[in-house]
Amino acid sequence: MNIHEYQGKQLLSQLGVPILAGDVAYSIHDAERIARWLDEDVVVLKAQIHAGGRGKAGGVKIAHSLNEVIEGADALFNKRLITPQTPPEGKQVNRVYIEAGCKIAQEFYFCILVNRQTGGNDLIASREGGMDIEEVAAKDASLIHRVSLDSGSDLQPHHVRSLCYAMGLSGRVGRRVQDVMTRIYKGFCALDAYMVEINPLAVTEDEHVYVLDCKATFDDNALYRQRQVEEMRDDDEMDPLELEASRHDLNYVKLHGNIGLMVNGAGLSMATMDIIKHFGGEAANFMDVAGAATPQRVAAAFKLIYRDEDVRGILLNIFGGMMRCNDIAEGLVQAAREVGLKKPLVVRLEGTNVEQGQKILRDSGLPISPVGGMEEAARTIVEQVKAG
Ligand code: ADP
Ligand code: MG
């Protein structure tokens, strides 16, 4: 799960990480009220969307007066912001963070993320902050410094110190940056984050250190024990179908093809996507009706995929082990009746009571093709979708 910049800053500030004063606005009126309250010579208006690259795309505005705050807010609210990290149509701005401005002397890059290979955490830092880190890496990889902690190891002072040395920091500023990095690391662990990226971590002309931007991603499987993070979920940022899927506990990811898939188990889902491709088709989604494929969840998954306008045909490939195939078939037939099935639907059921399940499908009078094997299933749905 991702959160907004201002939410990341809220979480970090609770751990003593220095941030500038600010508050989130939901309207132009809010923006004006917050700017009055801040009472600073310079305030910065920052569009809150789950994507970076806002600065260059006009999503960060500097205001020197209340009038400029109102103008800036007017230019951001309810507009679509397109950055290199948004989908091509951009993202609508519903929230704007109003923050005190500061005089930046230097911008650093700092990121912590779980290393999937080692299972430990990696810390990455660079003195070329503020800009796209991929650009820095392409220009001169020696400007990027990494410390990899072993799985289960704690962060030691020398880890952070070595990053600060590498970035050419020393003295009071060096010690402040060290302290901030250590606190961010504690927050990263305590909050079950998967990635926290601070770009920039700014040093001001008066030698203070502030987190100026914050991008954070959290482990979905740990959200049950991170209530404060869970409550920061912004449904407007999610794909409507993915949101609906998460309500039913379905593992759903929208893809670019036109064949909707319903499968149980991540392994079988991947294999099904591969075989679809093998026969010249393209999956419209990854859908793992994980755990027990109960008739209710199969019905919910089916309706969700059916609603997707890109889907021209559906393949259900479910192994009914704990769940009986006849129950799954009942759930599917009922859902298919409810939507008034018009798109081709190929069903490959395997497991307990498979004959009964197939009979229910055949007797339903609906245009459903029950098939025996996976190859046949994939070939049939690809052919039916091509025949359109
Ligand atoms: P993004 O990464 O999406 O472009 P940032 O939050 O990093 O957005 O902001 C872009 C740039 O705007 C920063 O690199 C910094 O130079 C400037 N900036 C952001 N917040 C402030 C602030 N409060 N005061 C002064 N400058 C800021
Ligand atoms: Mg940034």
43-47 and 345-351 as β-strands: parallel, antiparallel, unpaired? unpaired
- The catalytic residue positions are 109, 197
Q: Whose CA is nearest to atom 4 of ligand 1?
A: 55
Q: What distance in Å separates the CA atoms of residue 145 and residue 151, rounded to the nearest whole number?
A: 19
pLDDT value at position 316?
Answer: 95
Number of H helices, E strands in the chain: 13, 19
Among the bound ligands, the one closest to the CA of 108: 1
pLDDT value at position 103?
Answer: 97
Out of 60, 82, 103, give the residue to mutate to test ligand 1, the one with the largest number of ligand atoms within 8 Å of its CB: 60
* Sheet (strand 313-320) strand order: 251-254, 285-288, 259-263, 313-320, 345-351, 368-370
Q: What is the DSSP string of 62-130?
A: EESSHHHHHHHHHHHTTPEE--TTS-TT-EE---EEEEE---EEEEEEEEEEE-TTTSSEEEEEES--S
313-320 and 345-351 as β-strands: parallel, antiparallel, unpaired? parallel
| Amino acid sitting at position 7 | Q
Residues of the chain predicted below pLDDT 50: none
Asked if 382 contacts 278 with a C-beta cutoff of 8 angstroms, the reply is no
Q: Which of 243, 20, 299, 359 is closest to 253 using CA atoms?
A: 243
Q: What distance in Å separates the CA atoms of residue 171 and residue 188, rounded to the nearest whole number?
A: 26
Could you tell me the fold of the domain covering 240-387? Rossmann fold (3.40.50)
Ligand 1 geometric centre to CA of 77 (Å)? 18
Out of 133, 205, 213, 215, give the residue to mutate to test ligand 1, the one with the largest number of ligand atoms within 8 Å of its CB: 213
Look up the pTM and report it.
Answer: 0.82
pLDDT value at position 99?
Answer: 98
- Identify the three-state secondary structure at position 255: coil
| Amino acid sitting at position 89 | E
For the chain, what are the domain ranges? 1-20+103-237, 21-101, 240-387
Q: Whose CA is nearest to atom 10 of ligand 1?
A: 55
Name 60's bridge partners.
46
Q: What distance in Å separates the CA atoms of residue 199 and residue 8, rounded to the nearest whole number?
A: 12
Q: What distance in Å separates the CA atoms of residue 299 and residue 148, rounded to the nearest whole number?
A: 45
CB atoms within 10 A of CB 138: 9
Ligand 2 geometric centre to CA of 118 (Å)? 27
Name 112's bridge partners.
123, 196
Q: Whose CA is nearest to atom 13 of ligand 1?
A: 130
pLDDT value at position 292?
Answer: 67
Q: Which residues line ligand 1 (CB under 6 A)?
A: 20, 44, 46, 52-55, 60, 99, 101-102, 104, 107, 130, 199-200, 212-213
Q: Whose CA is nearest to atom 20 of ligand 1?
A: 212
Asked if 70 contacts 28 with a C-beta cutoff of 8 angstroms, the reply is yes
What is the per-residue pLDDT across 158-167, written as a single tens digit (0 to 9) for each? 999 999 999 9
- Identify the three-state secondary structure at position 316: strand
The residue written with tokens 């600010």 in the block is 22
Could you tell me the fold of the domain covering 1-20+103-237? D-amino Acid Aminotransferase; Chain A, domain 1 (3.30.470)
Q: Does domain 21-101 have CATH number 3.30.1490.20?
A: yes
Nearest atom in ligand 1 to 210's CA: 23
φ/ψ of residue 98, rounded to 5: -110, 115
